[in-house]
Homo-oligomer: A and B are copies of this chain.
Amino acid sequence: MKLDTKSYKGTRDIYPEEMRLRRYIFDKWARVCQRYGYERYDAPILEPLEIYAAKSGQEIVSDQTYAFTDRGDRRVTIRPEMTPSIARMVAARRQEMPMPARLFSIANFMRYERPQKGREREFWQLNLDLFGAADVEADIEIITVSDAILREFGARPEMYTILVGDRRLTDYVMREYLELDAVQAGVMIKLFDRRAKMSVEEFNVQAAEIYGGQNSSEFLAKVDELVGANSLGDLPKTIAQNGPVDELRTLLSALERRGITSAKYDPTLMRGFDYYTGIVFEVFDNSPENNRSMFGGGRYDGLVGLFGVEDLPVCGVAPGEATLNEFLKAWNLLPKLAPATDLYIIPLGIDVHDIADKLRAGGVKVAVDLGGRKAEKAIKTAVKLGVPYVMFVGENELKSGKFSLKNLATKEEKMTTLDDVVAILTNARNVL
């Protein structure tokens, strides 16, 4: 019997070259989070299925979870997202946890979806959440950190757009401005969510269907006026004067003062998850070849309370590795990353352990060739690995204390002492 070398469908094997990029992204994520006072946590890969049932949205729970029954007859699932897990964790320490609590994690998730570019069944995400802060200053902070994350990778404001909305304003618009009942509003929100993916005609046909009344042209005109608003000031007067727009106004002007020029109001921004209760936002890639939503977040004040404790205001955001990767690629922001190893030692018939260890003590990362191969073959391995330097070590080198160090990129070869090697290699790494 021959086993298949392919990974499970929709998952990827991460070889060292891709792993360096993953670590580059994860390290930058962690650095930005910590700069803003967020502390790291982790949660189990497996969760009771029920914690997703209330709020994660029908589609995720019934069609996309990796749910199964364990050997002890418990219904469990590989987590499809982090929010219910961290809400559960905070609820478990509701009394003693200091508030506001700034928490982040970098973790993997699984959803049973059709794999496509930038979306796989197993995916990694940063989750950043701010618990215990009801005021809009918390929303401002979450969007500020989201912006700082993109800038950390070298992104400039013109490369992305942060669309901002508010679930409360959406509710107001549905009920008071469009005069829809709760059921109609639910369907209408889903339609708005899909608007970018359909023609205007198609959108209007479906909108009129939802409305269902006689004079749908008046209804469609209202929708049109709403959709055309590019800023809060552009909104139909009745909404601007009577709707809950104060927090959005505060938010947008605070972001502007902070130089976050990518942020703008979007009356059609809905966000899919049922748990959002206030300000929501979504970050879009502006590049023509990858013009798509990258990630989003918002306020979800009702979730912690589902675990039987006093409720707690929360807002958060969850950038994903795959979409960030596509964004960085589209804007040519992906760095070329060297392997961790600084030096490949090629032993010429002797045990080089002592030499290698001296270099390691000096901070050099050293791999040693094995098997007593010819130097040529060993060099080929070093080149394939991408290690920048090789060094030959035989009896003569040991006696003289002089070692031949070769830079594989420039082909330069240089006689050096061990101390020089440490200086050259730790220096080379800082330049990279």
Interface residues of A, Cβ cutoff 8 Å to B: 1-9, 11-16, 19-20, 22-23, 34-48, 50-51, 54, 63, 66, 68-72, 74, 76, 78, 85, 88-89, 91-93, 98-100, 102-103, 108, 110, 112, 122, 133-135, 137-138, 141, 144, 254, 258, 306-309, 339-341, 344, 351, 353, 360, 365-372, 380-381, 384-385, 387
Contact = CB atoms under 8 A, between A and B. Distances in A.
Nearest to A4: B48
A46 B385 contact: no
Contacts of A2: 306-308
Given A88-B3, A99-B381, A371-B100, A41 B14 contact: yes
A88 B5 CA distance: 5
Contact of A66 (B34, B43, B46): B46
Copies in the complex: 2
A51 B5 CA distance: 9
Given A89-B15, A339-B39, A76 B3 contact: no
A239 B91 CA distance: 62
A110 B45 contact: yes
Nearest to A120: B44
A132 to B, nearest CB: 8
A217 to B, nearest CB: 44
Contact of A133 (B89, B134, B137, B371): B371
B37 A3 contact: no
Given A19-B42, A43-B7, A48-B8, A135 B66 contact: no
Contacts of A63: 71
Nearest to A124: B42
A149 to B, nearest CB: 13
Given A102-B367, A360-B36, A306 B42 contact: no
Contact of A13 (B4, B8, B48, B89): B89
A110 B66 CA distance: 15
A134 B45 CA distance: 37
Give the one of A38, A44, A68, A100 with max B CB within 10 A: A44
A148 B189 CA distance: 58
Contacts of A387: 37
A381 B99 CA distance: 6
A365 B78 contact: no
A102 to B, nearest CB: 6
A15 B37 contact: no
Contacts of A16: 39-41, 103
B42 A8 contact: no
A19 B74 CA distance: 27
B78 A45 contact: yes
Nearest to A370: B133
A304 to B, nearest CB: 10
Give the one of A13, A47, A54, A135 with max B CB within 10 A: A13
A315 to B, nearest CB: 11
Given A54-B3, A70-B112, A134-B371, A341 B37 contact: yes
Give the one of A14, A16, A37 with max B CB within 10 A: A37
Contacts of A351: 254
Given A13-B89, A46-B11, A307-B3, A368 B37 contact: yes
A43 B98 contact: no
Contacts of A306: 2-3
A44 B78 CA distance: 12
Given A8-B48, A9-B72, A34-B341, 18 more contacts: A3-B51, A3-B307, A4-B307, A8-B47, A11-B45, A13-B41, A13-B43, A13-B89, A16-B40, A36-B360, A36-B366, A45-B78, A46-B78, A98-B381, A98-B384, A98-B385, A135-B370, A141-B370
